[in-house]
Chains A and B, each alone.
Chain A
Amino acid sequence: MLIHMRDLHRVYELGAEKVHALAGVDLDIERNEYVAIMGPSGSGKSTLMNIIGCLDTPTRGSYVLKEQEIGTLSDDELARIRNQEIGFVFQTFNLLARADALHNVELPLVYAGIRHEERRRRAREALELVGLGDRMKHRPNELSGGQRQRVAIARALVNKPSIILADEPTGNLDTATGEDIMASFERIWQQGNTVILVTHEADIAKHAHRAVRMRDGRIESDVRTPITTAARP
């Protein structure tokens, strides 16, 4: 079991008011699943993603990632898990504007303490994998939206994490480019990665093999679509 969540709560306190962003979530995700998390705005999707990605910790309940209870870890330990186990892809790409594609992709390896030449080599590899071998020296503002998101995907993959987490990765892209990006995720999944993505578009969600629907901080439904043999390598 990769992810194991039981009775997970996340409560935000706004003055006297308490917002139950997550109100008792039970969720198990196996290695190499491709999960879409869906639901209306404010239903707690991002909160759940943040906790899965160890950017945030639950107020109550248990989250076990790779046999490790996350709720009790220190800031630095959480940072290490984000570095080693999680690859984030954001809706707004979140690339460093001043750095070129290569350096952006290198960043997780910087924090992993990997030496310069090794970093360069692996970042180049990752960029070639997403088809940007000829754009390494370009800065984000010299790239199209789709290219930027591919740089972000390369960055998410470069440290070989256990989970790729994508919060609305196509939200800022046109439909054709979005399909492109989804094809990338498909490939990543086929290579044996675990992919979890948040989306409110059914078209996007159908790429996944499991749809988790949320409402009011709870899981409303959890539907697996059988994996077609054609999809497997």
Chain B
Amino acid sequence: MNVRESVGIALQALRANKLRSTLTLLGVIIGVASVIAVVSLVQGLNQYVTNQLTASGSNVFSIDKYGIVFDNDTFRERGKRRDLSSEDAAAIARSGAHVEAAVAQLTAGATVRRRSRSLQRVTVRGVEPDYMLVNDLPIGHGRPIGEADERGRAAVCVLGAEVAEQMFQSLDPVGGEVRVGSLKMVVVGVGERKGSAFGASQDLYVLVPFSIFEQMYGRNRSVEINVRSRGQESFNQAQDEARAILRAKRHVRPGEPDDFEIVTPDMVLDLWKNLSGAIFIVIIGVSAISLVVGGIVIMNIMLVSVTERTREIGVRKALGARRRDIRTQFLIEAITLSAVGGLIGLALGGFIALVLGLLTPLPVYVSPEAVALGLVSSSLVGIFFGAYPAVRAARQDPIEALRYE
């Protein structure tokens, strides 16, 4: 069959009436554009989240009372568990053969002030001396919180780079004073700048000694324990050790479930992947609907075309076209239509992805998979919705068709 001829006829028809063609292909264009944009965006987000979660090192996990909770009942249930304490963290650090370090931390929000400047809702963390080691948070300037600060309940702090900048501008913060909540503290160091994640700055924090945090906010709170394993290969063993140590310490009987939760970056990543997968499915569903609508429009146009060209079909049959020749011809025309829509959609979707990439910190890029998905889905629309008109065309009786006015 003459593919070039069929493609040519379809393109000619498209060119002949640009407005009608655009409207005809709108469904396919929107469908493919949204497929491309969404796939690119989700891939970009996945990349971004993976980068963020593994930034502090993939061999760090945390333990707390709640873990990842989605419903109120579970939250309330877990709230009744015994609190975790800095002694628990110390026990893990002491007895875990595969544990490099384990620290307890507590978190609160506070306003940070210096002279007339103030910054609200800054995360204040009460941290133990190994905190920066465990969480791979290097000091940019000055020194970290040390053993002596902890023991002496020193009113000292390490500022996040953003807090330091807001409070001190171009001045050197180290040695300066800030007010955290109601307490005056001496700045001993500034954390290295981390930039922003999920649209929020990661440099808006104040680290204070764990002991002074307890003094500021009270003692009876459950801590979050951060544990770093000795290496990637001992990550699972370190978890097992931490679990065993805590169960023994908290008298959990064999066979009973843990009364604490271990959260690893992989779990958070999985959670994210489930979530983004759900978003993905919803939006792909919407794209699919517009592809189907686009397909129905193409089917309609093709049916009109088959009727208009009944006589042409009769002539072709008289000259020796078999059913399959006619079928192929109309199918190629339908596929050409939807593929043109697909290409326009591809360009549009790629453009949207590009703009998203420029406007957000997400590493959005149009992947070959997204392009393939867009083109394959639009071609499938052509094949699926072109099939019925093509079969109708092929079935025409040659004599009836030749007599058609």
**Across the interface, do B316 and A111 meet the contact criterion of CB distance under 8 Å?**
yes
Which residues in chain A, 74-128, are within 8 Å of chain B measured between CB atoms?
75-76, 79-80, 82-84, 88, 90, 94-96, 98, 103, 107-108, 110-112
**Across the interface, do A55 and B318 meet the contact criterion of CB distance under 8 Å?**
yes
**Across the interface, do A96 and B315 meet the contact criterion of CB distance under 8 Å?**
yes
Closest-CB distance, B9 to chain A (whole angstroms)? 7
Which residues in chain B, 256-270, are within 8 Å of chain A measured between CB atoms?
none
Give the contact stretch, choosing among B292-300, B320-328, B375-383: B320-328
Neighbouring A residues of B314 by C-beta, 8 Å: 94
Closest to B323 in A: A75
**Across the interface, do A79 and B312 meet the contact criterion of CB distance under 8 Å?**
no
Say if the beta carbon of B12 comes within 8 Å of chain A: yes
Neighbouring A residues of B315 by C-beta, 8 Å: 94-96, 107
Report how far A218 CA is from B42 CA in the complex, Å. 76
Given contacts A94-B311, A111-B325, contact A79 B399 (CB under 8 A): no
Known: A75-B323, A80-B322; 20 extra A-B contacts, CB below 8 A, are A55-B402, A56-B399, A75-B322, A79-B320, A79-B321, A79-B325, A80-B320, A82-B317, A82-B318, A82-B319, A90-B402, A94-B314, A94-B318, A94-B402, A107-B315, A107-B319, A111-B316, A111-B321, A111-B322, A155-B319
- The contact of B316 among A50, A76, A103, A107, by CB within 8 Å, is A107
27 A-B residue contacts at CB 8 Å?
A: A53-B318, A55-B317, A55-B318, A55-B399, A79-B321, A79-B323, A79-B325, A80-B322, A82-B319, A82-B320, A83-B319, A83-B320, A84-B320, A88-B318, A94-B311, A95-B315, A96-B315, A98-B9, A103-B5, A107-B316, A107-B319, A108-B320, A110-B5, A111-B320, A111-B321, A111-B325, A112-B320
Report how far A196 CA is from B126 CA in the complex, Å. 105
Contact with B along A140-174 (1 / 0, CB 8 A): 00000000000000010001000000000000000
Neighbouring A residues of B319 by C-beta, 8 Å: 82-83, 88, 107-108, 111, 155
Interface size class of chain A, counting residues whose CB lies under 8 Å from the partner chain: 20 to 34
Neighbouring B residues of A75 by C-beta, 8 Å: 322-323
Given contacts A50-B399, A110-B5, A111-B325, contact A98 B12 (CB under 8 A): yes
Neighbouring A residues of B320 by C-beta, 8 Å: 79-80, 82-84, 108, 111-112, 159
Say if the beta carbon of B2 comes within 8 Å of chain A: yes
Neighbouring A residues of B363 by C-beta, 8 Å: none
Say if the beta carbon of B398 comes within 8 Å of chain A: yes
Report how far A60 CA is from B154 CA in the complex, Å. 112
Closest-CB distance, A21 to chain B (whole angstroms)? 11
**Across the interface, do B402 and A79 meet the contact criterion of CB distance under 8 Å?**
no
* Residues in chain B within 8 A of chain A (CB atoms): 1-2, 5, 9, 12, 311-312, 314-325, 398-399, 402
Report how far A221 CA is from B312 CA in the complex, Å. 36
Closest-CB distance, A225 to chain B (whole angstroms)? 30
Neighbouring B residues of A55 by C-beta, 8 Å: 317-318, 398-399, 402
Neighbouring B residues of A90 by C-beta, 8 Å: 402
Report how far A82 CA is from B324 CA in the complex, Å. 15
Closest to B316 in A: A107
Report how far A76 CA is from B322 CA in the complex, Å. 5
Neighbouring A residues of B311 by C-beta, 8 Å: 94
Neighbouring B residues of A53 by C-beta, 8 Å: 318
Closest to A112 in B: B320
Report how far A98 CA is from B15 CA in the complex, Å. 13
Neighbouring A residues of B316 by C-beta, 8 Å: 107, 111
The 8 closest A-B pairs by CB, nearest first: A83-B320, A111-B320, A79-B322, A108-B319, A94-B315, A76-B322, A55-B398, A82-B320
**Across the interface, do B9 and A76 meet the contact criterion of CB distance under 8 Å?**
no
Closest-CB distance, B401 to chain A (whole angstroms)? 10
Neighbouring A residues of B317 by C-beta, 8 Å: 55, 79, 82
Closest to B318 in A: A88
Neighbouring A residues of B321 by C-beta, 8 Å: 79, 111
Neighbouring B residues of A112 by C-beta, 8 Å: 320
Closest to B325 in A: A111
Report how far A82 CA is from B316 CA in the complex, Å. 10
Closest-CB distance, A110 to chain B (whole angstroms)? 5
Closest-CB distance, B310 to chain A (whole angstroms)? 12
Report how far A159 CA is from B320 CA in the complex, Å. 11
Neighbouring A residues of B12 by C-beta, 8 Å: 98
Neighbouring A residues of B399 by C-beta, 8 Å: 50, 55-56
Report how far A129 CA is from B80 CA in the complex, Å. 100
Which residues in chain A, 39-77, are within 8 Å of chain B measured between CB atoms?
50, 53, 55-56, 75-76
Closest to A95 in B: B315
Report how far A79 CA is from B324 CA in the complex, Å. 11
Report how far A108 CA is from B320 CA in the complex, Å. 6
Closest-CB distance, A86 to chain B (whole angstroms)? 8
Q: Which of A79, A110, A111 has the most CB of B within 10 A?
A: A79
Neighbouring B residues of A56 by C-beta, 8 Å: 399
Report how far A152 CA is from B266 CA in the complex, Å. 73
Closest-CB distance, A168 to chain B (whole angstroms)? 13
Closest-CB distance, A155 to chain B (whole angstroms)? 7
Which residues in chain A, 157-194, are within 8 Å of chain B measured between CB atoms?
159
